[in-house]
Amino acid sequence: MLLILSILLALGGCASQRELVSAAPSMQDRSAPVELADTPFFPDDALQCGPAALATVLGASQNGQHYNDLRGSDPATLAREVYTPGLGGSLQLELVAAARQRGFVPYALPPEADALFAELVAGRPVLVLQNLRLRTLPAWHYAVVIGADPVNETVILRSGTEKRLVMPAGKFMRTWDLAERWGLVLLRPGELPATLERERYFAAVAGVEAAGRHADAARAWRAALGPWPDDPVALFGHATASHLAGDLATAYDAYLALLLLEPGHAAALNNLANLLAGQGCRVAAHIMAQQALESATPDSAIAAAARETLQRLEADTVRGGTCELP
């Protein structure tokens, strides 16, 4: 059994202070607004702001290139995936899942104004959730922040039927506060966000892996090894995603790199055993699987996987011919 990385991360919290545009570190010393004017616009007049906002950031992330099939990223198509008539809207999880299926890494921003503005400076519009009324009587609305003006203290959005809604920063922050400051950017696999937090980024990549997009996940984990070259989670994620994507040479090297740091990493030992077995290296595979079993916590899922690997090896049911290392 091949073990797959799984990360659960509860994101929450909402800062109460009201940051203004000019006070944000990423916007200081700027005398002109940041505005991503080329961001596409999909007017929404049918209470389907979620599909329209998602289509906006998907279109912007394409940046004129054929990344994935944009024909499946128009509001009408997206509405069939993410709009729930009974709710009269779309859930954040549905928007995230739809973006993953189109080849992106959806990254939930830290709930800070500067994290939002930093993405604009980096050239990425931000999908946000707003509450346009009261906490006790909410009116949820998805929009896309495409700009910010530190001189006039305004935020610029693609919102509803307005292509260029200029909103006072204080008003925007109130509506964003009431929606717990949820913001999302779409990263191409291999890109890092402007405001990088380990747990948030790892959770985003693990979601891509769980969706079965192993090659995309491998590229995203490889990017994580830039800021965190010796992180066991990133190393294991890179190794496993590469393995599942069929890039056995990269997976082999990544498993070995992790085991140099943590010789008793039971999951890596078990997965390396499976890789070696598939290459016909049954003796080495048996040694790795036995080490995995000895290193694993008894009665854990990893121990069960290692026992299954050993049973398959002993029953000689593992495919593979002459032993050839990747």
**pLDDT at residue number 324:** 81
- Do 29 and 132 share a structural domain? yes
* pLDDT, greater one: 5 or 96: 96
- Do 163 and 271 share a structural domain? no
Asked if residue 251 has pLDDT above 60, the reply is: yes
Within a domain: residue 172? yes
The pLDDT tens digits for 101-131 are: 999 999 999 999 999 999 999 999 999 999 9
Mean pLDDT of 93-100: 94
Question: In sequence order, which residues have a C-beta less than 8 Å from that of residue 257 and are 6 or more positions away?
Answer: 235, 239
CA distance 89 to 83: 5
CA distance 143 to 22: 22
**pLDDT at residue number 11:** 33
- Do 227 and 309 share a structural domain? yes
Of 140, 166, 187, which residue constitutes the final position of a domain?
A: 187
Q: What is this structure's pTM? A: 0.87
- Do 164 and 99 share a structural domain? yes
- Do 146 and 29 share a structural domain? yes
Within a domain: residue 210? no
- Do 161 and 33 share a structural domain? yes
> Chain-wide mean pLDDT for the chain?
89
143 φ, ψ to 5°?
-145, 175
Which residue range is the domain that position 261 belongs to?
220-314
- Do 255 and 178 share a structural domain? no
CB of 105 closer than 8 Å to CB of 188: yes
The pLDDT tens digits for 163-201 are: 999 999 999 999 999 999 999 999 999 999 999 999 999
The pLDDT tens digits for 145-162 are: 999 999 899 999 999 999
Within a domain: residue 285? yes
Within a domain: residue 211? no
What is the CATH classification number for the domain harbouring 256? Answer: 1.25.40.10
- Do 176 and 33 share a structural domain? yes
Asked if residue 133 has pLDDT above 80, the reply is: yes
Within a domain: residue 319? no
What is the CATH classification number for the domain harbouring 78? Answer: 3.90.70.10
- Do 34 and 130 share a structural domain? yes
Asked if residue 56 has pLDDT above 90, the reply is: yes
- Do 225 and 121 share a structural domain? no
Within a domain: residue 174? yes
**pLDDT at residue number 189:** 96
Asked if residue 5 has pLDDT above 80, the reply is: no
Asked if residue 66 has pLDDT above 80, the reply is: no
Asked if residue 217 has pLDDT above 90, the reply is: yes
Of 139, 170, 187, which residue constitutes the final position of a domain?
A: 187
- Do 171 and 109 share a structural domain? yes
CB of 257 closer than 8 Å to CB of 227: no
pLDDT interval class at 85 (50, 70, 90): confident
- Do 176 and 235 share a structural domain? no
Within a domain: residue 206? no
Mean pLDDT of 1-16: 42
Within a domain: residue 1? no
Contacts by 109-112 with C-beta closer than 8 Å and gap 24+? 109/183, 109/184, 109/185, 109/193, 109/195, 109/200, 110/195, 110/197, 110/200, 111/13, 111/14, 111/15, 111/180, 111/181, 111/182, 111/183, 112/15, 112/19, 112/181, 112/195
pLDDT interval class at 321 (50, 70, 90): low
Asked if residue 68 has pLDDT above 60, the reply is: no
Number of structural domains in the chain: 2
The percent of residues in the chain predicted with pLDDT above 90, rounded, is: 74
Of 132, 162, 187, which residue constitutes the final position of a domain?
A: 187
